[in-house]
Structure 1
């Protein structure tokens, strides 16, 4: 099964979850997503998602100067982002439970 379409549907949730406990900059967030098992995630998808979540008021940003390269723009969850993470997490868990039941038990007649 091609996971590309699945990733599109849950990328917002995945990014919010990665930022739940620790702020991060673009490449760091992408690295954490890949380390969690989402190896097929594209750079442009992650950066586009970060921009969209920020514009949607779910993230805040701040810049950290770097002596060894360009400054890094960090993203952090704000209160609205944490609320969205909780809501989206509930929807995901309900959906995943339904899919598990379908796969394990099928549809009752």
Structure 2
């Protein structure tokens, strides 16, 4: 698979991955970026615009909390709309991957 194809696949799944991480509990952007970098190899630069859009779309809400290691951190958590979006996207992802796996002869 070419690097361009890998980037496109990752971008397509990025919001779902962020929603999944936040479904586990609130987190701040750097922590989310680190988990995505370790899990699927996404860079930190892609997270901040996505978090802003998700906030503007009402999927996440934020709060500031003091940090022992620098400036206050902005924590993100899912809103009810974010939880609904996560459930819907997770179902769509499973349907899609099942179809792809079937075409690949893996199911």
Same fold at TM > 0.5:
yes
* Matched length: 103
Q: Which has the higher strand share?
A: 2
Question: What is aligned with 2:48?
Answer: 47
Greater Cα radius of gyration, structure 1 or 2: 1
Q: Any stretches of 5+ residues in structure 2 without a counterpart?
A: none
Q: Which has the higher helix share?
A: 2
- 1:42 is displaced (CA, Å) by 1.6
- Which of 22, 32, 55 aligns to 1:19? It is 22
Partner of 1:22, secondary structure, is coil
- Following the alignment from structure 2 to structure 1, what is the Cα–Cα distance between the partners of residues 24 and 46? 22
Q: Any stretches of 5+ residues in structure 1 without a counterpart?
A: none
- Following the alignment from structure 1 to structure 2, what is the Cα–Cα distance between the partners of residues 10 and 68? 31
TM-score, normalised via structure 2 length: 0.90
Moved runs in structure 1, 4+ residues, more than 2 A?
none
TM-score, normalised via structure 1 length: 0.89
Report the aligned-residue RMSD. Answer: 1.2
